[in-house]
Chains A and B, each alone.
Chain A
Amino acid sequence: MAIESNEFYWYLDQEKKGIVGSMNDQGIVTFVIEAGVGSSIRGTTYFKAMMGFFGNDAKAIHGFWLRSAEGKVSTNIDKVNELTALGVALENAVLQAWTVTRAMKLGFSKVRLLGVPKGSPGAYTKVEVLIEK
Chain B
Amino acid sequence: MIRFENPPLREDIIRDLRTLAARGARVREIADTINARLDNAQLSIIPTLAYFARAFFLPLPKILPLREWIGTDNDEEIDALILPAIQEAREKWSQPEEQSVGVNE
Contact = CB atoms under 8 A, between A and B. Distances in A.
Contacts of A20: 46-47, 49-50, 53, 60
Interface of B: 1-7, 9, 38, 40, 42, 44-47, 49-50, 53-54, 57, 59-61, 64, 67-68, 71-72, 92, 95, 97-98, 100, 103
A50 B67 CA distance: 19
Contact of B1 (A6, A10, A32, A69): A6
Interface residues of A, number: 32
B5 A31 contact: no
B71 to A, nearest CB: 6
Contacts of B67: 32, 66
- Candidate in A6, A8, A53, A70 with the most chain B CB atoms within 10 angstroms: A8
Is chain A's interface secondary structure helix, strand, loop, or mixed overall?
A: strand
- Candidate in B57, B64, B68 with the most chain A CB atoms within 10 angstroms: B68
Interface stretch (A11-19, A80-88, A98-106, A115-123): A11-19
A37 interface: no
Contact of B46 (A2, A6, A11): A11
A93 to B, nearest CB: 21
A5 interface: yes
A30 interface: yes
Contacts of A32: 45-46, 49, 60, 64, 67
A110 B72 CA distance: 35
B64 A4 contact: no
A108 to B, nearest CB: 17
Nearest to A11: B46
